């Protein structure tokens, strides 16, 4: 999985809500041991925490590269927030970054679980292979069809077929195999094996980035990132600017203080020590020109706001019954006005943040976000910020929940709490499409947790009893 490598588990309230809504066995107390099992903490001040663990397959390291990393925290304190461990007992506050890196190298799930030396007798990887559908005998999954080197194959399953193709391709494969909304399958001329709401409930985070120039040359500019000495530092010592994705600060915020300690935060912020690279975005030519006027090597920072639980819901649908046709994604971003309102609430936090003594000392100015393409509205009004959001908000690349798990009597659920496809024998889904609802923050880490727990469900064992006995008292 390619992402910004931020290690975040979500909120304890996410998982307690899953359990309360029918996902028995998925409360925070149930799943925290699996987060700990997977973790190998390398941050000194967190090694003694009962919320962290050493020795797991996936390394977690800090991301303190520039002076800005400490200034972000200082400004957060000036705003009235504590500095917290967002994977610990209290999430609300400003936080130092935790990244899935080991000695400056990304620790992806592929590296952590498959990249270690040694023969794996229980694993056979077929590369250059394209799965086209699941095979069935009645209501029992028997194996999968796939194409390799332009030849068709079928591999049979002795016990179960496990789909781990992600939130887009897993629902596509299920629908191609006859598991999905009956009317849609009939439209695609696919015989229905099971009428289930596959491809519904698509959820994703939306992100909106605010920018400010700073008056000191301490940011991660393109010149610094590509310099010879930066490269040498990384190669010799595994340290320096190339060990980070640019993100050096974080915060989790409740815009309504009466909600604190009762539910998950409304907003996540990621603070980059650079002006966010707009060339990554497919922007309107005039909008892009307004930003490029700053020049490429401007020192500054980006304050990216993410609404943690958007209300908008989308779908995944087949384009045709040809497995090589990409499915149709309709995420319906910002369809619900509350999602825009949440982002505007985050902007109001940013406006106060850059007015703190620390940020003002860096020369930060709200006027840096005065852009011509939205000035038909009064600058800094709700209407102005909504215009900016609708022009510039982007996906968080956290698409999930398209094959949600839930109680057996939940008509919106595709899977039961053991990740088995309802009404089908021998078929499970093990990826983030199984989430009932999107979690707080980046989704890589909770996906690893889900896979660790799924391994125990499949094997019919409990591999984390020893960890469960050591959980913090307040879990």
Q: Could you give the CA distance from residue 468 to residue 471 in angstroms, rounded to a whole number?
A: 5
| CA distances to 86, 99, 249, 329, 439 from 6, in Å | 11, 5, 10, 26, 14
> How many residues does the structure list for the chain?
475
At residue 324's C-alpha, the angle toward residues 434 and 316, to 5°, is 35
Token pair 């497995």 is at which residue?
Answer: 323
Q: Residues near 158 by Cβ (< 8 Å), separated by ≥ 6?
A: none
184: which strand partners?
none
At residue 295's C-alpha, the angle toward residues 294 and 301, to 5°, is 65
Using an 8 Å Cβ cutoff, are 271 and 167 in contact? no
Whether 398 is catalytic is: yes
358: which strand partners?
none
Q: How many CB atoms lie within 10 A of CB 114?
A: 12
Q: Could you give the CA distance from residue 143 to residue 112 in angstroms, rounded to a whole number?
A: 28
Q: Could you give the CA distance from residue 113 to residue 393 in angstroms, rounded to a whole number?
A: 34
Q: Out of 52, 205, 398, 466, which one is annotated catalytic?
A: 398
Using an 8 Å Cβ cutoff, are 13 and 264 in contact? yes
Q: In this structure, are strands 267-272 and 247-253 parallel, antiparallel, or unpaired?
A: antiparallel
User: Which sequence positions are flagged as catalytic?
Assistant: 398
């Amino acid at each position: 999985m390619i992402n910004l490598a931020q290690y975040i588990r979500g909120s304890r309230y996410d998982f307690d809500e899953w359990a309360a809504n029918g996902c028995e066995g998925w409360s925070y107390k149930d799943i925290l041991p699996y987060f700990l099992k997977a973790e190998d903490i390398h941050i000194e001040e967190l090694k003694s925490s009962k919320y962290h663990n050493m020795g797991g397959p996936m390394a977690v390291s800090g991301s303190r590269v520039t002076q800005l990393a400490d200034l972000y925290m200082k400004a957060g304190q000036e705003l009235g927030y504590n500095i917290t461990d967002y994977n610990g007992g209290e999430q609300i506050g400003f936080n130092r970054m935790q990244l899935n890196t080991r000695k400056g190298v990304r620790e992806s799930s592929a590296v952590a679980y498959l990249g270690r030396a040694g023969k794996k007798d229980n694993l056979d990887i077929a590369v250059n292979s394209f799965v086209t559908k699941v095979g069935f005998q009645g209501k029992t999954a028997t194996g999968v069809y796939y194409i390799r080197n332009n030849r068709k194959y079928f591999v049979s399953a002795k016990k179960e077929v496990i789909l781990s193709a992600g939130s887009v391709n897993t629902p596509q494969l299920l629908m191609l195999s006859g598991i999905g909304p009956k009317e849609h399958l009939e439209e695609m001329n696919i015989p229905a094996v099971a009428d289930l709401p596959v491809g519904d409930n698509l959820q994703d985070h939306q992100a909106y980035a605010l920018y400010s120039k700073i008056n000191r040359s301490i940011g991660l500019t393109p010149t610094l990132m590509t310099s010879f000495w930066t490269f040498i530092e990384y190669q010799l010592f595994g340290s320096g600017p190339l060990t980070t994705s640019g993100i050096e600060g974080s915060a989790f915020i409740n815009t309504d203080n009466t909600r604190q300690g009762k539910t998950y935060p409304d907003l996540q912020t990621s603070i980059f020590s650079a002006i966010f690279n707009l060339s990554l975005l497919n922007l309107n030519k005039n909008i892009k020109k307004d930003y490029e006027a700053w020049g490429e090597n401007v020192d500054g920072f980006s304050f990216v706001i993410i609404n943690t639980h958007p209300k908008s819901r989308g779908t995944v649908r087949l384009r045709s019954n040809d497995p090589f046709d990409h499915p149709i994604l309709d995420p319906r971003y910002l369809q619900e006005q509350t999602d825009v309102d949440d982002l505007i609430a985050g902007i109001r936090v940013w406006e106060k943040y850059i007015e703190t003594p620390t940020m003002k000392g860096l020369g930060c100015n709200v006027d840096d976000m005065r852009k011509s393409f939205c000035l038909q509205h009064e600058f800094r009004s709700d209407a102005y910020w909504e215009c900016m959001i609708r022009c510039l908000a982007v996906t968080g690349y956290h698409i999930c929940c398209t094959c949600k798990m839930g109680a057996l009597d939940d008509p919106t659920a595709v899977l039961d709490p053991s990740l088995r496809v309802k009404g089908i024998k021998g078929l499970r889904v093990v990826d983030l499409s199984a989430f009932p609802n999107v979690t707080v923050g980046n989704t890589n880490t909770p996906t690893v947790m889900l896979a660790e727990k799924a391994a125990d469900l499949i094997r019919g064992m409990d591999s984390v009893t020893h960890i469960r006995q050591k959980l913090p008292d307040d879990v």
